[in-house]
Structure 1
Amino acid sequence: MELDDIHTILIIGPTSSDKNVDLSTALYDTVDILHQLGYKMSIIVEDPTSLLSSGVFYDKSVVEKVTGDNVLKYVQQFHPDAILPTVGDRNALGIVSSLNGKIGGTKVLGANFAAYLATFKRELFIKRLTKANLPVIKFISSNDEKEIYSFIRSIGFPIIARRRYSNRHSSGWTNINNLFELDNFMALEDIEDTKIEIERSIRGFSEYSFTIVRDQYDNSSLIGTIEDVEPIGVHHLDSNLVSPALSLNDSKLQRLRNYSIKLARVFNVVGVCTVHFAYNHVTKESYITEFIPRLSEETKFLEYATSYPIATVVAELCLGYHLDKLQLDAGSPFNGATEPFVDHITSRFPQWKTPEQRYLGPSKTSDSSIIVNGFSLEEVLNKGALNDKFNGNFERYNELRKLDDDELFEKIIHPTNWILDVLSEAMRRNFEKPVLSEITGIKLPYLSALQNIIDNSLIIREGEIDGKNVERMVEMGVKGVGHSKLLLDSKDIVTKTVVKNKRAISVGNNKYINHNYFVTSGISNELELSDRKKIIVRTPIITSKTDIMIRQFVLFQLAKSIDQNGLEPIIIGREPWNAPLVMRRKVVEIDDPHMEIKSLGLIDKDSVLRTIDLSKNIVDDENEQVFQFSAQELKNIDLEGNTSVRVMVVSDGKNYLAPSVIYQAKRDNHLYEVSSVNNFMTVEDRADIAHLISQELENYDHVDIYNFEMVKSHDHWLVTKMYRGMTSDIIRHELASSVHVIDTLVKLLLGNKIDDDLSLEKIFANFDEQYLLAIDCKRYKLLDKDEMQEKLTEYRKKED
């Protein structure tokens, strides 16, 4: 069944943890299943914080810049049987395509060299699709004016054009609608060695993406579809995304599905392949715009939406498993050929740090996103894009009301991140929906959903609630709690807030358990809990990629520790968290964007031992059962030095441990950070630091985590910063320490104690064998004890 000549696998990891959060969790699932199947794995990764504790599975970890030269050097030195690039980012595909003919008998898993090269070489992409009779946008790159004009005559207007310079940079795309605009563009002064790139304009087309999985025996399955609410012309990740694609009827869906499967066959993609389409609902034209033969942000979104374990499935398919004969953790069988059927809508709404309007175009500008579930378009719009708690929609509404019709029309023509609010205001003024759809490219179902929300808001304000409209309102996610006192007081039972199971995996895989729920409206609750004692973890609204990375890491560690201590972990979040597969059957996840679950009383208070709150907005601060895990600044002195340390301390209220100390030194205009210097500290330094920690903790008698920053000045250590709770250092500390801080914290919250009168050696105990050296927070190296001792001696000599 599987490839029996593969025993060792080199994984090309993501290049940057902040930008590849979704890949980090996918990476954990991938290496976990490969470890269970008995493979030896190594990884090349730039930033080890992206590993999310998956480092325990690797035979070798190479912390180097992820480049073709370093991958080739590793292959030539250690001769792995195969390379797996599907959990890397786009950089991994470029590396693999450059290694063709250089890696001898080492196999490349996932797809062939041509497939990876075609993700970069548009000419090859178009050539392959044209030969296979797949719809693709014609493209030319030339400096010959006659050739350019001839090509334009063959495809017609409108077109888009840009200049590609010899240094690989390019100008932005220019929309050209007629010969006059083309002549003006061509008349612009040229720089030497510049080519003009031209292709047919698809601006205003609808954008869809189809994700399929395929095995080496040509069996394929459609995992899910995603639809962009905004048309092409707005960057995919700046658009509001909806899964499944709601505006495709069955014939259109099957047509694009067949194209996706055929493309995967053309490039012989084994594993996962996401295909992007541009579709014109008026002319029925469709074009394949790109394909992604690897795990990506979209596959992680679909994994959450459908509960289909894509990362695990892809790893096994790459190794030769049949699509219908897969296995998950602990060897449980899984039929991956059964296409998921979802009973709900999942939407992903982009977020910006500032409330101001941003003009949207082909470049990504959003900082993060919020994912919500619902049973209707109206419900997901109410929870996400029109959620005043997230976006300040009421302030937008007041600003837009002040505009006259001409000013409002300007905002309709030029799309911004306020576009749904702008369209809502336009419909309040009775602008016609077909006209708005034609101008903006946003499809009528979404405009109708906005109109329904407007109509029902009016009903709520005027109090005209009766049996005729209450059921329709509930379908739109309008509930009593958090929305309207009128609905809350209504005698109709349908208006109550309930919790529903997010049923997404198909009946063909009904043994695959998914404890994932979301808060909605209805009559009955479906939340099922075990009789085990529980710890609840509340998570925040996420505002940046870095926050997400920290939260993913901390949630995973917390959930794992809570389960290992014999308790049931319940994760309640304003934004959903997709647990790694190994934890997915053990964790109860409840998506609750309005934080309503507490008022429902569905979780027996007597069964809850503690609540751990990761949110930055302090709530229940007088409730001793709630542990605030987010960082709170306790001390901040403006004092800098060339030598400093960051110490993580976990305390039971009386005694403490300091399992992780990170040393920081500025030398030769570079910043050096060394993990686990516990093992290299002098007796004097240990004593000084321990004395300072004891002084600072004198007035704190509760279980907690503390973070200290200390600066060395005139041979003495001084505390400059002190935080209670989790800071952004949590990943570095946890990775740097053989003593797991989060697990220690959970044990202390359950009543365990730290021994009295511990020696300094035991307070600072750490049993690491490898040490992480970071240079300028970008370059990382893993060193053994002797190598690290040499480095520290070198820095200390410069210090003296």
Structure 2
Amino acid sequence: MTDDEDRTILLIGSGPIQIGQAAEFDYSGAQACRALQEEGARVVLVNSNPATIMTDPEMADKVYVEPITPEPIAEVVRKEEPDGVIAGLGGQTGLNVTAELAEQDVLEEYDVDIMGTPLDTIYATEDREQFRQRMRKIGEPVCRSETIESMDELENAVEAVGGLPVIARTAYTLGGSGSGVVDDTDELREIARKGFQLSRNHEVQITESIAGWVELEYEVMRDADDSCIIICNMENIDPMGIHTGESTVVTPSQVIPDEAHQEMRDSALKVIRELGIQGGCNIQHAWRDDGTPSGEYRVVEVNPRVSRSSALASKATGYPIARVTAKVAMGKRLHEIDNEITGETTAAFEPAIDYVVTKVPRWPKDKFSDVEFELGPAMKSTGEAMSIG
């Protein structure tokens, strides 16, 4: 890799606004573009949505409005010969296409580094069986689950996790697509068939149901020196079984005891270190009161990228997660990144808030009058409102 001033960095946008992937990703992408230019890098942006802020001419040195699929992006790589690509700033779409480019040897052929979070980490978080094994390695509790590759394995998988109800989940998807909490065999078969069609690796995970547990999220930041901070934690008012994008969310958490918060805080730091994530990530836990001081929790999943939750955390705390993630990918350490709000501290300081922030989702009932807007594991909301008090 060349010096910062000579680097050409490929940034992959999130594409069109859709359910599960809306303006939050443009907010993060625009932050990242500015951060990379501050470091003297030449920014090449690929995004299929020309109506975004990040595709404005001043946001990048070269903008390509192309489909976010491997073929057109491979052409951009051949033409621009970037030194590196940052996978985690274009949401799930950017993450998936970066993995596909690596699998097709495009990145290796043109000597393009995956900056920040390594490819192995992307696989470890998106492949649910790999993720479960990595969590067990460090002693973190996870739900009982079985990964299946065909409908013939479905019945045995349900028995292995303790029977119905179960949660069916797919890998490499966004907004809970192909997922569901089910207690009926016929419905489970239908969801599994849909999951196989949507999953990039043709796998569906059958997991014991923890519907009704409290869902909590931790936004965590880590640099190459293994310095980690917790940016904030968020509590979903609606329980597990309801997609976090469908739930009202409050930060900081309100109902869990401090012992439980400290335990899950330690868990989040263990998880990000085990996975080797560099930059920001979102770690989801499920918790329930079992009568002990700290209760019982499970590590549910990790998003090694910017997300809806990271945009909320940035706005709630003032900590620019996408900006810091971009600079960490460029090799900066947290203590070397200035906090633009305070003007005195650095990104290595955990933000502290003395107020409560609430996010409420919005469902487009005026546009989709024939859709049943019932809360569930798949996301249907297309926007949200935030309040501070």
TM-score, normalised to structure 1's length? 0.41
The 1:71–1:214 alpha-carbon spacing in structure 2 relative to 1, beyond 3 Å, is same
The residue number in structure 2 matching 1:135 is 141
1:73 has 2:88 as partner:
no
1:238 aligned to 234, 246, 252, which one? 246
1:602 is aligned to none
How far has the Cα of 1:318 moved from its partner?
1.2
User: Amino acid of the residue matched to residue 128 of structure 1?
Assistant: R
Counterparts of 1:336 and 1:242, CA distance in 2: 23
Distance 1:334 1:12, change over 3 A: farther
Q: Does 1:86 align with 2:88?
A: yes
CA distance in 1 between partners of 2:235 and 2:94 (Å): 27
Max Rg structure: 1
Give the aligned partner of residue 107 of structure 2.
103
1:258 alignment partner in structure 2: 266
1:33/1:329 contact within 8 Å kept: no
Aligned residue number for residue 326 of structure 2? 315
Which whole-Å CA distance do the structure 2 matches of 1:205 and 1:71 have between them? 41
Q: For residues 211 and 34 of structure 2, what CA distance do their matches in structure 1 show?
A: 42
Q: Deviations over 1:423-447 (max 9, x none)?
A: xxxxxxxxxxxxxxxxxxxxxxxxx
Of residues 242-251 and 5-14 in structure 1, the stretch that sits farther from structure 2 once superposed is 5-14
2:325 alignment partner, SS class = helix
After superposition, the C-alpha distances for 1:84-124 in whole angstroms (9 at most, x for unaligned) are 12221201111112233431221112211122223432222
SS of 1:221's partner is strand
Shift of 1:373: 1.3
Relative contact order higher in (CA < 8 Å, ≥ 6 apart): 2
Cα distance in 2 for residues equivalent to 1:163 and 1:26: 27
> Which residue of structure 2 aligns with residue 345 of structure 1?
356
8 A Cα contact 1:24 1:50, kept in partner: yes
SS of the residue 1:27 aligns to: helix
Alignment gaps of 5+ in structure 2: 171-176, 197-202
> Which residue does 1:173 correspond to in 2?
180
Residue of structure 1 in register with 2:224 after alignment = 216
Cα distance, 1:351–1:196 mapped onto 2, change above 3 Å: closer
Structure 1 contact 161–196 (Cα < 8 Å) conserved: no
1:3 to 1:254, Cα distance in 2 relative to 1, 3 A: farther
Once residues 146 and 117 of structure 1 are traced to their aligned partners in structure 2, the CA distance between those partners, rounded to angstroms, is 23
Aligned to 2:281: 273
Q: Which runs of 5+ in 1 are unaligned?
A: 165-169, 375-800
Paired residue for 2:45? 43
Conserved? CA contact 1:93–1:117, under 8 Å: no
Query: What does the per-residue CA deviation read over 1:739-770, in whole Å, with 9 as the maximum and x for residues that have no partner?
Result: xxxxxxxxxxxxxxxxxxxxxxxxxxxxxxxx
Contact in 1 for aligned 2:4/2:39 (Cα 8 Å): no
The two structures have a TM-score, normalised by structure 2, of 0.81
| Compared CA separation, residues 265 and 6, structure 1 to 2 (3 A) | farther
Structure 1 residues 68 and 267: alpha-carbon distance in aligned structure 2, compared to 1, 3 A threshold: farther
Find the aligned partners of 1:186 and 1:25 in 2 and give their Cα distance: 37
Distance 2:275 2:87 in 1: 16
**TM-fit CA distance, 1:218:** 0.4
Q: Provide closer, same or farther for how the CA distance between residues 141 and 56 of structure 1 changes in structure 2, counting only shifts above 3 A.
A: same
Match of 2:124 among 110, 118, 122: 118
Matched, 1:327 2:338: yes
Q: Percent identity?
A: 23
For residue 347 of structure 1, report the CA deviation from its aligned partner: 0.1
TM superposition shift of 1:62:
1.1
> For the Cα contact (< 8 Å) 2:168–2:207, is it kept in 1?
no
Return the alpha-carbon distance in structure 2 between the equivalents of residues 267 and 274 of structure 1.
12
* 2:136/2:142 contact within 8 Å kept: yes
Counterpart of 2:90 in structure 1: which amino acid?
A: G
Q: Quick check: 1:140–1:148 contact (8 Å CA) kept in 2? A: no
Q: Which amino acid aligns with 2:297?
A: S
Q: Does 1:362 align with 2:377?
A: yes
For residue 282 of structure 1, the aligned residue among 290, 293, 300 is 290
Q: Could you tell me which residue of structure 1 aligns to residue 173 of structure 2?
A: none
Conservation of the 8 A alpha-carbon contact between 2:182 and 2:188: no
Match of 2:387 among 372, 386, 394: 372
- Offset of residue 202 of structure 1: 0.7
Residues paired across the two proteins, number: 360
Alpha-carbon shift at residue 52 of structure 1 (Å): 4.9
Could you tell me which residue of structure 1 aligns to residue 174 of structure 2? none
* Superposed CA RMSD: 3.4
